[in-house]
Structure 1
Amino acid sequence: MSSRKITYTAAAAATLLASAYIYRQCSCTKSSTKAPLAEKNQLGATVSNSKAFVPDSSWVALPLTDIKTLSPDTKRFTFQLPQEDQVSGLTVASALLTKFITPKGSNVIRPYTPVTDLNKKGSFDLVIKVYPEGKMTNHIFNLKLNETLLFKGPLLKFDYPKNTFNEITLLGAGTGITPLYQILTSILSDPDQQPNTKINLLYGNKTPQDILLKPELDELQKKFSDTFKVTYFVDQLNNDLEYNGELGYISKDYLKKSMLEPKSTKNQKIFICGPPPFMNCYSGPKASPKEQGELSGILKDLGYTSEQVFKF
């Protein structure tokens, strides 16, 4: 199935039905209350004066200060750092570990990538989708303002080398946008990198309503149109939204025409992140949280190598 460039209105959208995006993309089988600040977090661990998270740091209990609904199953959560003049301490590309302790005393730990500017002081945001059986996602969705969640980090995923890649392709689906967004905003906000790096984001979702961070992405494309392009892909259309993008999955043919040739003399990198069916289709799964594993799927079929592709 190939994608078609379209602009749909509500009337046209009402006639279209399709299955969920990530499962048919290819045939490859309130106002907030400010919480008090302190020199020590709620576990008693002293924090850095300038960075909230440093290597080998202890778990830090941070209060939830704001919640915004982004889609029917996804929200943006703002957590306050211990000090107003602190940054998170994360670098590109890194995440934070979250933890809570169940009533039975077991630990539930999950990684999440903040979507705020790494230089932002005082707080950071997480974009999280709730899953029916997700222990951590349900715990976070049930948090009330000023209640706390345990954090630890930074968890480095990819040590991004500045001014190394001439062209970057960001290939994502659903909440897989979060680490890709961190890379994107870090490059575009750096005047030493932005003019020298072309970035192409291909972002798939079930419906236009499910596209996360769309206002931010559209604004970045408008501001940096010379070096950044975003293309949206959806599996089906809402009956109440206009949509300007592609209908269908990110096809092999679309990738072939929109990306540099695998053997191009330009230095390129492909970053990919999404749910398991998406990863299986395009790159193959990671071998483990710390190991990339063998490259497979559409990207391998197109001739790209493991050195050119990084899986989040």
Structure 2
Amino acid sequence: MALLLRRLAKAAPVALNNAFKDGPKSNTGGFGLPFGVIAALSGGISYYYYSSPNMVQLDHSNEEAGEKFALNPDKWVEFKLLESARVSHNTKLFRFSFDPTAKLGLNVASCFYTRAPQGQDDEGKMQYVLRPYTPISDPDAKGYFDLLIKIYPDGKMSQYFASLKPGDVLDVKGPIQKLKYTPNMKKNIGMIAGGSGITPMLQIIDAIVKNPDDTTQVSLIYANVSPDDILLKEKLDTLATSHPNLKVFYTVDNPSKNWRGGKGFVSKDMVMKGLPGPAEDTLVVVCGPPGMMKHISGDKNKDRTQGELSGLLKQLGYTEQMVFKF
């Protein structure tokens, strides 16, 4: 199963759609569900603590127009881990289950909060660490969602993920709407992602390429430390090859001897050559670590509102209306 998941994590959409055509297997713990398109690396930069009473079970009463939703924006919901597998030197793939008659309830582009217990405070209340993540599966997938998590040695949330075993549960609350994407909302969408900031980018890319009526032109600049840190590269390359409206450019800080992509931080020249220029029908979306955000667009405000535009994008003539910071 671990080998199968690693292959699925790197596979192209067609391969993913066919991977489970033979139906469930007795030792999969539920992985017989049709596998949707793996789309994104789970993101999230900061964490904070939150005290709350008892966890709640999956709430099936959240119905709208006759539909049930697994996610609940007002309650913590438990999702059971079906299986996990390592897909790179520091990344694991996790699949969680929910009622297959319900929809997950996640729109493009949005995420949700997860929490991990961190012990009790002086008053005996449970302390939690919270992190936002974006599922990497198709939002319309039935009965499951997938998270691709980078495991950091000192990451409280990622270490919690690393400790989970099949049958364990994860507390989730959401969704949290970020950018409300609609087909053809812009003629051109430029993307600059760093590391785990690829999450919302791939969520949008998947929505565009699976919709034959969406003609949006997408250009992605994806920055990483090294070639080995580029997750889902095979999928990105396959999508770019099979969809003329998607172009992908990679840049790394520490290139290997055979590396043929960009080298170093995202530069003015990379943006000018790789992204659509400033225009009313252009939107540039940015997501990455704080240092990169400051360099490219300026970070968001402390209250997580968009904040003033600065950095390379402002220098190149983009306006605040043309840029969205995840």
Normalising by the smaller structure, the TM-score range is 0.7 to 0.9
CA distance in 1, matches of 2:282, 2:206: 18
Residue 272 of structure 1 deviates from its aligned partner by 0.6
Determine the structure 2 residue equivalent to 1:133: 154
Q: Give the distance between the partners of 1:110 and 1:146, measured in 2 at CA.
A: 21
Structure showing greater relative contact order (alpha-carbon pairs closer than 8 Å, 6 or more residues apart): 1
Secondary structure of the structure 2 residue equivalent to 1:231? strand
2:90 counterpart residue number? 73
The separation in 2 between residues aligned to 1:243 and 1:121, in whole angstroms, is 39
The match for 2:29 among 26, 33, 40 is 33
1:246 aligned residue: 262
| Aligned-residue RMSD, C-alpha | 2.0
Q: Which amino acid aligns with 1:273?
A: C
How do residues 295-310 of structure 1 correspond to structure 2 at under 5 angstroms?
A: 295-310=309-324
Partner of 2:202: 181
Q: How does 1:37-56 map to 2 (within 5 A)?
A: 43-47=56-60, 48=62, 50-54=68-72, 56=73
- CA drift of 1:247 comes to 2.5
In structure 2, the residue matched to 1:231 is: 249
Partner of residue 293, structure 2: 279
Aligned-pair distance for 1:222?
1.6
Aligned residues: 267
Distance 1:229 1:143 in 2: 36
Partner of 1:64: 81
What does residue 20 of structure 1 align with? none
Verify the 8 A CA contact 1:45 1:58 in the aligned structure 2: no
Aligned 8 A contact 1:168 1:268 in 2 = yes
Letter in 2 for 1:231: F
SS at 1:89 equivalent: coil
* Aligned residue number for residue 215 of structure 1: 234
CA contact (8 A) 1:99 1:107 kept: yes
8 A Cα contact 2:115 2:128, kept in partner? yes
Residue 74 (structure 1) shift: 1.8
Conserved in 1, the CA contact under 8 Å of 2:109 and 2:179?
yes
**5+ residue gaps in structure 1?**
1-30, 36-41
Asked whether the equivalents of residues 109 and 178 of structure 2 are also in contact (C-alpha less than 8 Å), the reply is yes
1:119 correspondence with 2:161: no
2:114 to 84, 98, 121: 98
Quickly say closer, same or farther: Cα 1:175–1:119, change in 2 above 3 A. same
Shift of 1:269: 0.3
Query: In 1, are the aligned partners of 2:219 and 2:276 still within 8 Å (CA)?
Result: no
8 A Cα contact 1:209 1:238, kept in partner:
no
